[in-house]
Amino acid sequence: MVMRRGHGFGDWAWQRLTAGTMAVYSVGVLVYWLVSPLTGFEGWKAWCTPVPFRVFSLLFFWALMYHAWLGVREIMMDYVHYQVLRLRLEWLVRLVLVIYTLWATYIVWSI
Amino acid sequence: MAAKRPKNLNLFTIRLPLPALVSILHRASGAFLFLLLPLLLFLLQQSLASSATYDEVHALLKTPLLRLIYLIIIWAYLHHALAGLRHLAFDAHWGLNLRFARASSMGVLIVSVVLTVLMGFLLW
């Protein structure tokens, strides 16, 4: 049985907060796309360049990665019963998600 | 630990109620989206890198196979979001009865497919 500190209301609230962030962003992007459709590479780049869009995109990606961590950990707690293996898998998932976060930040940064 | 309990793990004979189906799809779609993250980040990066790589991504997304795949991804995203929204209702102790649970799970299944079809039309 695994019991860790800080593993209750905080995770529950963060899961919902990050989900809400992504939902608002997704609807916002959809509306943005409907009012200003995309045209080719230059148009796509110009579409992504405005600073508010980039800030919200960063928030979206950070929320996404943390949300993914909470979800994948929950799945692993249900299915990976061998603790040593699970702890190693958790390290791997954390590492991968940190890399994705840096990668996504770099993509948004260098638009 | 309770080894003598009767077990039925034959997936073809287990009756899966709609709320259970939505629940397992919520989890499966989340895991699926997690596994696709590197591919999606890569496509985003390529689409923004240069005019040539943008054209490649654009051409790739127009092939029938990729169209099918991105529709599945959109469906997974929508299903996950709507099933999550249903959970938020439960968190607020709203609709915690069997009838609503069944009706809302049906709603999640239908609305996610309808919105996916709509997105398909918009993106075609």
CATH number at residue B67: 1.20.1300.10
Q: Which pLDDT score, from 0 to 100, does residue B5 have?
A: 80
Query: Which of A32, A59, A35, A24 has its CA nearest to residue A48?
Result: A32
Min distance B29 CA to chain A CA atoms (Å): 11
Query: What is the domain count for chain B?
Result: 1
Class of the A9-109 domain? Answer: mainly alpha
Average pLDDT, chain B: 92
Res A64: pLDDT = 98
Question: Does residue B47 fall inside a structural domain?
Answer: yes
Q: Coil, strand or helix: which one is A38?
A: coil
Where is pLDDT greater, at A90 or A9?
A: A90
Position B7 in a domain = no
Confidence class for position B1, pLDDT limits 50, 70, 90: low
A58 or B7, which is more confident:
A58
A42 neighbourhood in chain B, CB within 8 Å: 51
Per residue, what are the HEC states of chain B?
CCCCCCCCCCCCCCCCCHHHHHHHHHHHHHHHHHHHHHHHHHHHHHHHHCHHHHHHHHHHCCCHHHHHHHHHHHHHHHHHHHHHHHHHHHHCCCCCCHHHHHHHHHHHHHHHHHHHHHHHHHHC
- Domain extent at residue B49: 18-123
- Identify which of A16, A71, A107 has the shortest CB distance to residue B30: A71
Whole-angstrom distance, CA of residue B99 vs CA of residue B42: 43
From chain A, the residues in CB contact with B81 under 8 A are: 19, 22-23, 26
Where does residue B56 rank: exposed (0-12), middle (13-18), buried (19+ CB within 10 A)?
middle
Which residues of chain B are within 8 Å of residue A23 when distances are taken between CB atoms?
81, 84-85
Q: How far is A22 from chain B (nearest CA, A)?
A: 9
Q: Which of residues 64-93 of B touch A (CB under 8 A)?
A: 77, 81, 84-85, 88, 91
The answer to whether residue B6 is domain-embedded is no
Which pLDDT score, from 0 to 100, does residue A97 have? 98
pLDDT at residue A46 is higher than 90: yes
Question: Taking CB atoms and an 8 Å limit, are B84 and A19 in contact across chains?
Answer: yes
Q: Per-residue pLDDT averaged across A82-109, rounded?
A: 97
Residues from chain A contacting residue B34 (CB–CB below 8 Å): 68, 71-72
B11 belongs to a structural domain:
no
Question: Quick one: what percent of chain A has pLDDT higher than 90?
Answer: 87
Confidence class for position B2, pLDDT limits 50, 70, 90: low
Instruction: Establish if B77 belongs to a structural domain.
Output: yes
In this predicted structure, the answer to whether residue B3 has a pLDDT above a threshold of 70 is no
**Residue B12 within any structural domain of the chain:** no
